[in-house]
Amino acid sequence: MTSTPTRPAPARKTALIAGFTAPKGFGDATLRDRREDAIELLGGIPDPGVLPAAELAAATTRVLSRPGLPSLQYSRTEGISPLRDWIAAREGVPVERIIITNGGFHGLSLGIQAVVERGDTVAVDNPIFPLFLRGLQLSGANTLPIRVGAHGLDVDELADRLRAGARPSALYTVPDFHNPSQGTLPAGARTELVRLAEHYGFVVLADNPYRELWYSGGPESVDAFNTSDHVIHINTFTKTLGPGLRLGWLVAPEHLAADLVALRSRQDSHSSTLVQAIVGELLTSQPDLFDATLARARELYLTRARTLVAALEREAPGAFQTTLPGGGLFLWPRLQDAGIDADALAAAASAEGVEYQRGSFFASGPGTDADRHIRLAFGDVPAQRLEEAAVRLGRAVRQQ
């Protein structure tokens, strides 16, 4: 390691709003022609059967029966108790570091505005969750793609780029069950990533919506993220309690917490008091409910992942290299035959009635084989439909 001086932790920076072009592919789902019986394996959507709808309804009734209807009033920008208290205890941090957001992407947007100045460089996953690039475009930042593989972000490549002179103000990564590639960053790599951030003075935006959806063995520790003043750790209830709640949170570094709250107060003031109150009531009135909900979800998603892996191997033998993920809502199969054109396969699959995202959609730069992959989302698709999707994909492969 060179003796580059440690840069101080950055203060809040205000990003200017500029025009942007959405990444190619966003919005296509509403414009394309499709078969009426199409099977969509497109988005990381939780299955409605594992969402606690009845319990949320009961919690809503209790919240709305309270004298004075406090849940229908204004509330604090950083969020309300007992929701923040519950999250802080689960994250193992002081409650002052928890800021409630309108879902995960809102948390990312706040992080970008807090630490990325116009024209800065931001290191990003390659392949990447493309919506982050949409948010980053508003800041006019430049990207520094860093490979992501079976074990998450390539921290060695990042270190090489930093030693060579790269100076990002931030780094974006999905550390657990990466979208799209499903890799998880090991404990040692997390520690090294944080060390690099502290040494070179950048902030890690750790985007962790799939953290709770592990299949076996439990999740990797997030202590390295939650104990550093160079990490904004972002999470959401989107994948666990429902996207429609639009509720997430940040674990903010102590030195940035007040600035993030001030930034938020100049936007929409605070997340819905009612939704916060309902979720807080749900989580605290039935202490075991969240983990019981997660247990059902993990079992269901593991079964669906296994079903889809086995069906692909049966219906398109040798066509894909497919690994059963350790968690999350996606498969990331790789096309084995170099003679198969990925775009032609996607078109044939669509004609057969299967819609998925091509791997090239997720590339943030050169240096990966993302264009030889496809992403298959199975969260809200029943096993029988996954079996049928594999049959149709098999037909599409044989047409190539």
Please, which pLDDT band fits residue 85 given cuts at 50, 70 and 90?
very high
Domain 32-50+290-398 = CATH 3.90.1150.10: yes
For the cut 50, the answer to whether the pLDDT of residue 261 exceeds it is yes
Indicate the angle between helix axes 273-285 and 83-91, nearest 10 degrees: 60
3-state secondary structure the chain: CCCCCCCCCCCCCCCCCCCCCCCCCCCHHHCCCCCCCCEEECCCCCCHHHCCHHHHHHHHHHHHCCCCCHHHCCCCCCCCCCHHHHHHHHHCCCHHHEEEECCHHHHHHHHHHHHCCCCCEEEEEECCCHHHHHHHHCCCCEEEEEEEECCEECHHHHHHHHHCCCCCCEEEECCCCCCCCCCCCCHHHHHHHHHHHHHHCCEEEEECCCCCCECCCCCCCCHHHHCCCCEEEEEECCCCCCHHHCCEEEECCHHHHHHHHHHHHCCCCCCCHHHHHHHHHHHHHCCCHHHHHHHHHHHHHHHHHHHHHHHHHHHCCCCEECCCCCECCEECCEECCCCCCHHHHHHHHHHHCEEEEEHHHHCCCCCCCHHHEEEEECCCCCHHHHHHHHHHHHHHHHCC
Query: How far apart are alpha carbons 199 and 194 in whole angstroms?
Result: 9
**Sole residue written with tokens 């979720």:** 279
Percent of the chain clearing pLDDT 90 (strictly above):
89
Q: What is the mean pLDDT of residues 253-269?
A: 96
Query: How far apart are alpha carbons 276 and 98 in whole angstroms?
Result: 13
The answer to whether 356 and 244 are in contact (CB under 8 A) is no
Q: What is the mean pLDDT of residues 393-400?
A: 96
Mean pLDDT score across all residues of the chain: 92
Q: What is the mean pLDDT of residues 195-199?
A: 98
* pLDDT tens per residue, range 209-219: 999 999 998 99
pLDDT of res. 269: 94
For the cut 90, the answer to whether the pLDDT of residue 196 exceeds it is yes
Class of domain 66-287: alpha beta
Of the candidates 256, 282, 264, the one whose C-alpha atom is nearest the C-alpha of residue 76 is 264
Left, alpha or beta for 180 (phi > 0: left; psi -120 to 50: alpha)? alpha
Within 13 Å and on the Cβ side, how many CA atoms surround 298?
19
Query: How far apart are alpha carbons 375 and 126 in whole angstroms?
Result: 14
* pLDDT tens per residue, range 114-151: 999 999 999 999 999 999 999 999 889 999 999 999 99
pLDDT of res. 36: 84
Q: How many CB atoms lie within 10 A of CB 372?
A: 18
Query: How far apart are alpha carbons 78 and 220 in whole angstroms?
Result: 27
Give the start-to-end residue ranges of the domains of the chain.
Answer: 32-50+290-398, 66-287
Phi, psi of 357 (to 5 degrees): -95, 130
32-50+290-398 and 66-287, same CATH topology:
no
Within 13 Å and on the Cβ side, how many CA atoms surround 103?
10
pLDDT of res. 32: 52
* pLDDT tens per residue, range 13-64: 433 323 333 444 444 443 356 678 999 999 999 999 999 999 999 999 999 9
* pLDDT tens per residue, range 327-336: 999 999 999 9
